[in-house]
């Protein structure tokens, strides 16, 4: 989703800004722009399409400035046009970039128009630019104007403002959309994501909700929600600088699929051994909380939600703890009941998903005993807002379609199952099975990745298809859901997932030779039931692709193509069976020639609701 980069320096900052935007491209966007102050001149260049189009439009005349802001836009209010792209200006003097949505923009627009401000775009963001200009008429001071103007904004914003009459300063404000300040020597930077700034600094200050900051070349002043000046901690980033490289792979998604054995090794390192789960891995006080936990509520969106649904099967079956899972955008707008001794678990790759964050804030006020965030980004809003946190250590994930973030979430949730099960008389045998499963998981995934060539060949059969059906049972049902999501996200083939016991209740009507049916079939206690479902499809002329354990005894024939998945311990089967489905969606998208890493209309981090 939208990305922000800003810089105030002695050197020309245009290349820093463009590189920052390139490093945020993975988030998904449809247009890009940059505003620069050179002496007293304000230049703004905007283009629809990729950052490359913007870079091509920059020349010696419009590409100079020691202070600048840049933006990649993912349209919410107003179509994808150059006029709607950021930065937006007021009075040819102030320039603004913004992530989020100003919900009361219509009211503000009417008020500002009445004051004589002329609007040239359909965006909510333009109201920020004119609001600042209006406040400047009163106070004459940029910081003061932002502090006052933000009080009139409803909704979410991460915004940066500059004024060509005070060229050595940027003023930034954060509420509901993340912003990070990057500290240089004699120059300072800011961005919506630290990834953008790793080529220029590793020292960061993460702004908190309600913060407003004034940034010059050699100073950073931060004011909290009450307008009081505050100090915020400086954090040395441990994120790898080259996390943005494709490492020889054709796409980030393929690289990230193949990284899974390594990141899974990291995810379990120091946390689990032959003796079981290590003490204290969920943070201080976690064990006390787990001891009292009788109910778990999981809240998440997208792929993270699928990890949550898988965990429900594990928590109830292995840990003997009741669990419900809900999509964050549903949870936040309905009344729900909180049982006694309830633990709230949020799952998120980014830790910045607007709906998940809002759901957490709401839940914190409604009687949950404690909150735990399972997240891939240290210092993210979700981690900071949760009482307990557990980092998944997947490393930066660039492909919009989540892969390694998902499998590390599953590993984290298996560890949570062990941690909770310990207090609920989990049988030693079950505990040992999960522990061994987790320890052997990286190797098992390496083995499973060996299916790539076979799956690449199979993907050919999907290239002319428009619809598909994914089937699974038990804890493989959410894996089927995740497989369907992957396929629709990147190949644009309509894909639906069903718990295969539901076939008779509707989807059988869709079966014909034009609709491939993908079946996830490990060798578990539901295998015989699943086999009956497969026969129902066969009897109606369906064509099936079955990912199965060798002991499941499926045979390829003219209606069924079987891919043998390495045999694995039942507890880790959902993680293992995720891999072939990721590979299938990747190779189908490759054949279809879609934009694998940045699929149309989608964003990596959804920071608006
Ligand atoms: C977007 C991404 C998905 C992700 C979802 C939730 O839709 O494209 O890949 O699963 O957001 O994101 P989160 O960062 O909260 O896991």
- When pLDDT is averaged across residues 465-493 and rounded to a whole number, the result is 96
Q: Which of 608, 599, 598, 489 is nearest to 26 (CA)?
A: 598
pLDDT in tens, 554-608: 889 889 999 999 999 999 999 999 999 999 999 999 999 999 998 888 877 777 7
Say if ligand 1 is within 6 A of residue 605 CB: yes
402 Cα nearest atom in ligand 1: 9
Active-site residue identified among 2, 301, 323, 375: 2
pLDDT at residue 310 in the model? 98
Pocket test for ligand 1, best of 349, 352, 483 (most atoms within 8 A of CB): 349
Across the chain, mean pLDDT equals: 93
pLDDT in tens, 389-406: 999 999 989 889 999 999
Say if ligand 1 is within 6 A of residue 604 CB: yes
- When pLDDT is averaged across residues 155-174 and rounded to a whole number, the result is 96
Query: Given pLDDT bands bounded at 50, 70 and 90, which one contains residue 533?
Result: confident
Ligand 1 centroid – CA 398 distance (Å):
12
Furthest CA-CA distance within the chain: 78
Say if ligand 1 is within 6 A of residue 578 CB: no
Say if ligand 1 is within 6 A of residue 327 CB: no
Q: Which residue has the higher pLDDT, 230 or 532?
A: 230
3-state secondary structure of 577: helix
Query: Given pLDDT bands bounded at 50, 70 and 90, which one contains residue 157?
Result: very high
Pocket test for ligand 1, best of 252, 353, 378 (most atoms within 8 A of CB): 353
3-state secondary structure of 170: strand
Query: For residues 482 and 578, is the Cβ–Cβ distance under 8 A?
Result: yes
pLDDT at residue 239 in the model? 73
pLDDT in tens, 95-153: 999 999 999 999 999 999 999 999 999 999 999 999 999 999 999 999 999 999 999 99
- When pLDDT is averaged across residues 83-97 and rounded to a whole number, the result is 96
> Is 323 a known active-site residue?
no
Ligand 1 centroid – CA 303 distance (Å):
6
Positive or negative, the CA dihedral 435, 439, 445, 448 is: negative
pLDDT at residue 300 in the model? 97
Ligand 1 centroid – CA 606 distance (Å):
7
In this structure, which residue's CA is closest to atom 3 in ligand 1?
302
Say if ligand 1 is within 6 A of residue 402 CB: yes
In whole angstroms, give the CA distance from residue 344 to residue 416. Answer: 13
Query: For residues 374 and 409, is the Cβ–Cβ distance under 8 A?
Result: yes
Query: Given pLDDT bands bounded at 50, 70 and 90, which one contains residue 387?
Result: very high
In whole angstroms, give the CA distance from residue 42 to residue 40. Answer: 7
Say if ligand 1 is within 6 A of residue 408 CB: no
pLDDT surpassing 90 at residue 158: yes
Ligand 1 centroid – CA 402 distance (Å):
7
Active-site residue identified among 164, 255, 297, 604: 604
In this structure, which residue's CA is closest to atom 8 in ligand 1?
604
Say if ligand 1 is within 6 A of residue 602 CB: yes
300 Cα nearest atom in ligand 1: 15
pLDDT at residue 135 in the model? 97
Q: How many CB atoms lie within 10 A of CB 148?
A: 18
pLDDT surpassing 70 at residue 240: no
Pocket test for ligand 1, best of 302, 346, 376 (most atoms within 8 A of CB): 302
pLDDT at residue 376 in the model? 94
3-state secondary structure of 70: strand
Ligand 1 centroid – CA 389 distance (Å):
18
Query: Given pLDDT bands bounded at 50, 70 and 90, which one contains residue 72?
Result: very high
**Beta partners for residue 6, in sequence order:** 69, 190
3-state secondary structure of 397: coil
Give backbone dihedrals phi and psi of 112, rounded to 5 degrees, phi first.
-70, -35
132-146, 347-361, 478-492 — which is least confidently predicted? 347-361
pLDDT in tens, 278-314: 988 998 899 999 999 999 999 999 999 999 999 999 9
Query: Given pLDDT bands bounded at 50, 70 and 90, which one contains residue 266?
Result: very high
Predicted TM-score (pTM) of this structure: 0.80
- When pLDDT is averaged across residues 39-46 and rounded to a whole number, the result is 93
Q: Which residue has the higher pLDDT, 330 or 528?
A: 330
**Beta partners for residue 229, in sequence order:** 223
Ligand 1 centroid – CA 401 distance (Å):
8
Say if ligand 1 is within 6 A of residue 350 CB: yes
Ligand 1 centroid – CA 71 distance (Å):
21
pLDDT at residue 242 in the model? 63
Query: For residues 211 and 177, is the Cβ–Cβ distance under 8 A?
Result: no
């Amino acid at each position: 989703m939208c990305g922000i980069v800003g810089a105030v320096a002695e050197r020309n900052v245009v290349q820093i800004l463009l590189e920052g935007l390139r490093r945020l491209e993975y988030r998904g966007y449809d247009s890009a722009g940059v505003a620069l102050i050179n002496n007293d001149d304000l230049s703004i260049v905007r283009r629809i399409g990729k950052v490359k189009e913007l870079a091509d439009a920059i020349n010696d005349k419009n590409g100079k400035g020691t202070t600048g802001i840049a933006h990649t836009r993912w349209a919410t209010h107003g179509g994808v046009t150059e006029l709607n792209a950021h930065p937006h200006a007021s009075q040819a003097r102030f320039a603004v970039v913004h992530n989020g949505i100003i919900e009361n923009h219509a009211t503000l627009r009417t008020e500002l128009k009445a004051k004589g401000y002329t609007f040239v775009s359909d965006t909510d963001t333009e109201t920020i630019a004119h609001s600042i200009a209006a406040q400047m008429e009163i106070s004459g001071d940029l910081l003061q104007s932002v502090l006052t103007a933000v009080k009139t904004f409803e909704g979410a914003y991460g915004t940066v403002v500059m004024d060509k009459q005070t060229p050595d300063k940027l003023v930034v404000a954060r509420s509901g959309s993340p912003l990070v300040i990057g500290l240089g020597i004699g120059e300072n930077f800011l961005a919506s994501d630290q990834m953008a700034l790793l080529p220029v600094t590793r020292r960061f200050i993460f702004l908190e909700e309600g913060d407003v900051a004034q940034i010059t070349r050699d100073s950073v002043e931060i004011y909290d929600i009450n307008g009081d000046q505050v100090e915020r901690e400086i954090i040395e980033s441990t994120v790898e600088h080259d996390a943005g490289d494709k490492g020889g792979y054709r796409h980030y998604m393929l690289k990230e699929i193949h990284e899974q054995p390594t990141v899974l090794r990291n995810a379990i390192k120091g946390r689990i051994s032959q003796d079981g789960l290590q003490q204290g891995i969920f943070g201080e006080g976690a064990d006390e909380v787990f001891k009292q936990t009788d109910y778990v509520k999981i809240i998440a969106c997208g792929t993270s939600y699928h990890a949550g649904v898988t965990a429900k099967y594990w928590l109830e079956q292995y840990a003997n703890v009741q669990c419900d899972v809900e999509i964050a955008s549903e949870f936040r707008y309905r009344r729900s009941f909180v049982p006694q001794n309830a633990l709230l678990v949020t799952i998120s790759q980014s830790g910045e998903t607007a709906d998940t964050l809002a759901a957490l804030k709401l839940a914190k006020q409604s009687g949950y005993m404690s909150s735990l965030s399972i997240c891939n980004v240290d210092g993210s809003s979700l981690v900071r807002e949760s009482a307990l946190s557990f980092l998944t250590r997947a490393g930066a994930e660039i492909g919009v379609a989540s892969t390694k973030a998902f499998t590390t979430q599953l590993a984290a949730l298996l560890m949570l199952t062990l941690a909770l099960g310990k207090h609920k008389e989990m049988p030693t045998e079950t505990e040992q099975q999960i522990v061994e499963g987790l320890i052997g998981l990286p190797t098992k995934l390496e083995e499973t990745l060996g299916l790539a060539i076979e799956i690449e060949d199979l993907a050919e059969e999907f290239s002319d298809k428009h619809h598909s059906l994914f089937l699974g049972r038990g804890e493989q049902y959410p894996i089927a859901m995740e497989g369907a999501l992957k396929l629709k996200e990147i190949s644009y083939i309509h894909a639906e997932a069903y718990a295969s016991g539901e076939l008779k209740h509707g989807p059988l009507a869709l079966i014909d030779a034009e609709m491939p049916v993908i079946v996830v079939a490990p060798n578990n206690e539901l295998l015989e039931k699943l086999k009956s479902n497969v026969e129902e499809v066969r009897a109606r002329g369906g064509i099936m692709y079955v990912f199965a354990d060798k002991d499941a005894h499926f045979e390829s024939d003219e209606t069924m193509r079987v891919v043998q998945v390495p045999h694995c311990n039942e507890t880790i089967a959902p993680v293992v069976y995720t891999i072939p489905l990721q590979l299938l969606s990747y190779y189908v998208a490759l054949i279809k020639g879609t934009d694998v890493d940045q699929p149309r209309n989608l964003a990596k981090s959804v920071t608006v609701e």
